[in-house]
Chain A
């Protein structure tokens, strides 16, 4: 099996290299050569799939003839955790990334789409080149198929901290997210190289960018959930360099998705979009450098390896190359229309992009502060959480304000009088938000500001839906709310993602400002009153399981007079590693989490516990799932617009394409690009016309 794996790895290296050469060198001009390049790509992907299946089989059957399996699995480990060892080690995680990229590249190549073939072939060639780079690292530096020198009986096993359900899905999801970000990057570079800088590449890149954003976002959220439930990792977010490494491309990608909309709808922000595409993918490579270079002050122990530096060199080369291409094509990247008013969607997108990039910059500086300060000051300095939290406050408020106002703003022009009235009314009515939480006892200015913006976001979204529904029937808009939402599915899917963000902000704000904790020692049968609850320690439950010894403290809790419930915080002794882990017990409601930690014994029949109240945590996790549903709705293929389903938007004079007078100089080809609503497929049915019928 080792031989099959190593042979397949070599085949993947050669085949992906050939496919990259054909794709980039323009093999598509000659049909036969172009086909051979695609065939090589398919062979490369198949070979890499073979390598992955060989490793999966070896992990499941505990084949310790593989050095990788012997290092990360053991005979006692359940098969599902043994499978998760696939992405625990250096070589395995590289294989997972390469395999994800290979499958994504194949899906991209054969996905039915309208974008032109040469652009797709060139982008596919670039993806194959990146795949060849990843496979080369495995062939020459980190071989997952390496045989053991001597076959051990049991294997070294997996750290108990990594034996968590989130470990089964969190790392692969993050790697798939990184792999998906490669597609918009490849399309942008292909568009820059070929000069096809029209809206087609943007339309082709947008679903891939949105998929990457959703997948990476869920991966980060699952990582937070895992850290929240495992002690010693600093809660759901600790601003650790490795955590920052995955969040930075996601933030840049958030700006990119909005920028792509600006380009698609108004032909603006073109340079910003291309640079953001390069920056986002560059940051994915930087995250890999962070985790594998061993030079950063991180919780995660990484061996020092030259592999990280290879990713840094690659990132710098790709970024420099991308910037050179942007400079060369700068005349073709001018805006089709100037931003005419600050009260428009493109203006809000521009300011939000700036805010997101400032946050990324602050995180980057904080992350590299140790080596950077060592070079500049001769002393190694690191920043704590206050630095990041302080930066986050103004940026979160600005993003929340943008999110709140977006539904009643328009591309390229000021809001209509009705929209302006609705905006003003919602902003005034939203005062109910801070008043409500003031009554509940919240006095923090940030909490009050967030409450106002959250209330405004909800009211503005409702107003937008009503105004859209009023196009169907101005007298009874409430009968057409669903119709309006379905008619503008992509728009409302985007707003659903915004709602997810709002929910996430509520969770982060609540848990940051309102957390309380208390250490207690309880004797069997003894009760304590805390935070409106009565907590009674019933007793200790001990049991043996095949791979561990379990000790659970049973707690009976009555919550503010409501029906009681029981929690069992525990400690496990994992026998293979002879290591204790603490398993927290959580009662989660919409108002907050009651989080209990069992520390240890304090004499016979007495235990030491920590009780924690984390308000609004469920809003944080729910925000992620709401955003995921929104992204899926936005990604769902659009059928040809039905004329009966769509009310017409009246085309104002300002929206019309200005006629080009004879002899007039054209600034750039982009100036000829019409806004999307002039295209027949996306034109909208007039309400007035329907009413007249």
Chain B
């Protein structure tokens, strides 16, 4: 076989193997990308499907376990909120009103059971005005590392999350 033919054959093999691997990976790990309202509109049809929901944490709904391995909150929608429960490491900067991305599945009760929770970068390329306005009010429910009381921490607690003791 001429060199050109061999090169074309090798290229075809590389392209075919890559396409096959992409198909296998893509079919195993695709998910619907939805807003809260789209999620509500499709309701029962999404049960069990992998979804990635993009929304803001509703004010007054965020509860993070003391060890920061579980978080419960509602994602804000225009018609209604979507309850979500997430496991795994909870990002430090998770606060109410913050834009988050939750990956998981809807259970039978319509709760989004997330296996991955990602917060969106707070300030890059947008003004801090909105984030700052919500920051102090939304820290409720965050936990700290510390457990004992001290004068320094009492001072800190005045501005810190409620769970700082």
Contact = CB atoms under 8 A, between A and B. Distances in A.
- Tell me, yes or no, whether A binds B: yes
B24 A582 contact: no
Interface string B68-104: 1100000000000000000001011111000101010
Nearest to B119: A232
B11 interface: yes
Interface in B7-29: 7, 10-11, 14-15, 17-18, 21-22, 24-26, 28-29
B121 A603 contact: no
Interface string A213-238: 00000000000000000011110000
B30 A383 contact: yes
A89 interface: yes
A386 B7 contact: no
A541 B103 CA distance: 36
A42 B144 CA distance: 54
Contacts of A581: 92-93
B159 A351 contact: no
A302 B89 contact: no
Interface string A571-585: 101010111111000
5 contacts: A232-B94, A301-B120, A341-B3, A347-B3, A521-B67
Q: Most chain-A Cβ atoms within 10 A of its Cβ — which of B17, B128, B150, B159? A: B128
The 9 lowest CB-CB distance pairs between A and B, nearest first, are A390-B25, A232-B91, A608-B67, A386-B29, A601-B147, A384-B29, A571-B145, A301-B120, A156-B128
A602 B165 CA distance: 12
A635 interface: no
A159 B31 CA distance: 30
A116 interface: no
Given A351-B7, A381-B32, A601-B143, A387 B152 contact: no
A88 B93 CA distance: 18
Contacts of B120: 298-301
Interface stretch (A393-401, A474-482, A643-651): A393-401
A604 interface: yes
A606 B101 CA distance: 31
A234 B88 CA distance: 12
A347 B10 CA distance: 10
A260 interface: no
A388 B121 CA distance: 23
A318 B41 CA distance: 41
A382 B52 contact: yes
A610 B89 contact: yes
Interface in A268-301: 291-292, 297-301
Interface string B46-67: 0000001010000000000111
Contact of B92 (A231, A303, A354, A551): A231
Interface in A562-601: 570-571, 573, 575, 577-582, 597-601
Contacts of A599: 67-69, 89, 143, 145
A234 B121 contact: no
B91 to A, nearest CB: 3
Contacts of A350: 7, 11
Given A577-B135, A581-B92, A370 B29 contact: no
Given A232-B93, A380-B33, A553-B145, A578 B135 contact: yes
The interface centre, meaning the residue of B3, B31, B65, B164 with most chain A CB atoms within 10 A of its CB, is B3
A215 to B, nearest CB: 21
Contact of A577 (B132, B143, B144): B132
Given A297-B54, A578-B139, A342 B14 contact: no
Contacts of B111: none
Contact of B146 (A158, A160, A354, A551): A551
A158 to B, nearest CB: 7
Given A301-B124, A601-B143, A573 B156 contact: yes
A338 interface: yes
A76 interface: no
A302 B124 contact: yes
B143 to A, nearest CB: 4
In this complex, which of B139, B145, B159 has the most chain A Cβ atoms within 10 angstroms of its Cβ? B145
B7 A389 contact: no
A578 B89 contact: no
B148 A394 contact: no
Interface in B112-160: 118-129, 131-132, 135-136, 139, 142-148, 150, 152-153, 155-156, 159-160
A302 B148 contact: no
Most buried by B among A161, A575, A600: A600
Nearest to A300: B121
Nearest to B91: A232
A580 B161 contact: yes
Contacts of B6: 342
B150 A542 contact: yes
B34 interface: yes
Contacts of B10: 342, 351
A526 interface: no
B4 interface: yes
B7 A301 contact: no
Nearest to B15: A358
Given A380-B32, A602-B67, A608-B69, A398 B145 contact: no
Contacts of B34: 380
A601 B28 CA distance: 38
Contact of B26 (A383, A544, A582): A383
A157 interface: yes
Contact of A391 (B11, B22, B52): B22
A600 B145 contact: yes
B96 to A, nearest CB: 12
Contacts of A379: 32
B25 A386 contact: yes
Given A579-B95, A600-B67, A292 B125 contact: yes
Most chain A CB within 10 A, of B3, B14, B21, B125, is at B125
B61 to A, nearest CB: 19
A355 B89 CA distance: 36
A148 to B, nearest CB: 12
A301 B68 contact: no
A622 B14 CA distance: 29
A27 to B, nearest CB: 37
Contacts of A359: 18
Interface string A657-673: 00000000000000000
Contacts of B4: 338-339
A340 interface: yes
Contact of A394 (B17, B26, B30): B17
A607 B145 contact: yes
Contacts of A544: 152, 155-156
Nearest to A391: B22
A387 B159 contact: no
Contacts of A386: 25, 28-29
A601 B121 contact: no
A340 B3 contact: yes
Contact of A600 (B54, B128, B143): B143
B160 A162 contact: no
B67 to A, nearest CB: 3
